[in-house]
Amino acid sequence: METLDILALFVFMSGLFIFINTYFLKLPSSIGLMIMALFLSLIILLVGWISPEFKEGMREVVSEFDFTEVLYQLVLSFMLFAGALQIDFKKLAEERTPVLILAIVGVVLSTTIIGVGVYYLLSFINIQVDLLYCLVFGALISPTDPIAVTATIRRFNLSQNLGVRISGESLFNDGIAVVLALTLLDLAHASEDHALNLGDVLYVFTADIGGGLFIGLYLGYLGYNLLKYIDNDAVEVEILVTLALVMVGSYLADFVHVSAKQAAVVMGLVIGNEGTSGHLSNAAGDYVFKFWNLIEESLNSMLFVLIGIEMLVIPNRLDYFGAGFLTFIIVLIARMISVAVPVSIMSTRRKFEAHSIGVLTWGGLRGGIPIALSLSLPPFEGKDVIVTLTYVVVVVSILYQGLTIPRLLKIFYKPHSKPVASRTKL
C-alpha cells in the first residue's frame, strides 16, 4: 500500500468518524471520536483473531509507513500553530496572569511528578526505562484538551472567568508541554553520549527554547507584515502565506537544531493577535482563521483514527497495560497537585470560584497531542512502554473523565435553564 493510499484511508476514516459523531452519537468531539477509535481497535483485534495473516499484513503496512516523520514534521507544527492562532490576549484580559501561571507552573510540576512516579512504578514491576525518558513521558502527557470539557461547561452556571481559565490554560499548555518534552528528549540523547552537567542542561534549554522563540517571533512578524499588504479578498494568498510560514519555520528550526514547535506556537500567537488588531483593519482575514480551525479539527480526528489502529503497533503485554491504568492514577494526582499549588498561591491576591481546583483537575482531559508526540518519538529502549502508557491514559482520561464531568459539575453547579448556543473563542 502506497503512502498516498494510507493518507486517503485516514482522511476517509476521519470524515466518517466526524459524520457519525455529528449526526448519530452527538457527543463532544473528543469523547465521540474516542468511542469510535476503540470500536475500530476492537474490529482490528477481532479480524486479527479470525485471520492472523490479515493482521500481520496490516501491521507490516503500518510499520513501513513513516508516521514519525509525518507526525513530527507536519501534524504537530500545524496543530500547535492552529491552536496558538485562536488565543486572543484581548479576550483573556485580566485572566492572562492566572492562565499563564497555571499553564507554565502546572506543566513543570505535572512533568516532574508524573516522570518520577512512572519511573518508580515501572521499576517496581521490573520494566526498565531511563528516568529522563520517563520525564519525557511526563511532559508529553501533560497537555490537556479543552474541546470536550468546554462543550459540557457551557451548560452549567460557571463564571466566565473560570471558563476562560480552563480553555486558556489548555490552549497554552499544549505548546509549553510539547517544547518541554522535546527539550527533555534532546537531554536524554545527550546523556547517552556523556554524563550531563548543569552547563549542558542550561545550554539545551536555552538553545531549544530561545532559538525557537527567536525564529517564531521573526517569521511571525514577517508573516504579519506580508498579510498586512495582502487584500483580505485574496483568501488563497493569505492561506498560502501562513502555510509557507509554518513549513519554512519548521524546516529552519530543525536545520539550526532549535525547537520547531516553539517557533510554530510563537508564530501563531503573533499572527493571531497582531493580525487581528483593530487599527490594522484585520490584516489576517477571517478565512485564514477558519481554514486553520478546519486543519486543527481534521488533524485531531485523524489522530483518533490513528489511536484506533495503534493496536497493530503496540505490544499486547498485560504488564504494559496494567502499568497504563496505574499511570492514569499518577497523572490524575499530578494534575490535582499542579493545579492546587498555583491556585492556592494566587488565591491570596486573586479570587477563584469555589471548586475551581476540582473542576480544573477533572476537566483536564488528554487528547490527540500526547498520541502524536508519543508516536513521533525516535526509537529508544522503552519507547513501546511509553506509547502503550500514552494510549491507555488518553483512552481512560477521555472516556472516564469526559463522561463523568457532567455529574461532577451537576453536584457543584446548577445547569442553565436553556443551552448556551454560542462558543467563546480565545
Task: Pick the closest to residue 389 from 303, 314, 334 (CA basis).
Answer: 314
The maximal CA–CA distance of the chain, rounded, in angstroms, is: 64
| The pLDDT value given to residue 336 | 96
Domain presence at residue 285: yes
**pLDDT interval class at 124 (50, 70, 90):** very high
Residue type, 15: G
Q: Hey, what's the cell of 300?
A: 485531531
Burial 52-66 (b: 16+ CB within 10 A, else e): eeebeebbebbeebe
Q: Hey, what's the cell of 224?
A: 504579519
pLDDT reading at 373 higher than 70:
yes
Enter the pTM of the model. 0.85
DSSP, res 156: B
Residue pLDDT, tens place only, 232-259:
778 888 899 999 999 999 889 888 888 7
Domain presence at residue 324: yes
Give the mean model confidence (pLDDT) for residues 75-94.
78
**pLDDT interval class at 375 (50, 70, 90):** confident
| The pLDDT value given to residue 423 | 41
Dihedral sign for Cα atoms in the order 192, 193, 194, 197: negative
Domain presence at residue 41: no
**pLDDT interval class at 147 (50, 70, 90):** low
How many structural domains comprise the chain?
1
Residue pLDDT, tens place only, 197-233:
667 777 777 777 788 889 999 999 998 888 888 877 7
pLDDT reading at 374 higher than 50:
yes
- Average pLDDT for the chain: 82
| The pLDDT value given to residue 193 | 66
Q: Hey, what's the cell of 404?
A: 463523568
Domain presence at residue 304: no
Of residues 113 and 44, more confidently modeled:
113
| Residue 226 belongs to domain spanning | 67-298+313-412
pLDDT reading at 279 higher than 50:
no
**pLDDT interval class at 3 (50, 70, 90):** low
Residue pLDDT, tens place only, 377-399:
888 889 999 999 999 999 999 99
pLDDT over 70, % of the chain: 83
| The pLDDT value given to residue 365 | 87
CA angle 65, 267, 76 (to 5 degrees): 20
Rounded to an integer, what distance in angstroms lies between the CA atom of residue 399 and that of residue 325? 13
Dihedral sign for Cα atoms in the order 37, 326, 139, 66: negative
Domain presence at residue 52: no
Strand partners, 415: 156
pLDDT reading at 148 higher than 90:
no
**pLDDT interval class at 2 (50, 70, 90):** low
- Among 113-127, 284-298, 398-412, the range with the most confident prediction by mean pLDDT is 113-127
Rounded to an integer, what distance in angstroms lies between the CA atom of residue 48 and that of residue 316? 13
Strand partners, 156: 415
Rounded to an integer, what distance in angstroms lies between the CA atom of residue 214 and that of residue 239? 23
Rounded to an integer, what distance in angstroms lies between the CA atom of residue 350 and that of residue 356? 13
Domain presence at residue 35: no
Q: Are 153 and 358 in contact (CB under 8 A)?
A: no
Name the CA radius of gyration of the chain, rounded: 21
CATH number at residue 325: 1.20.1530
Domain presence at residue 421: no
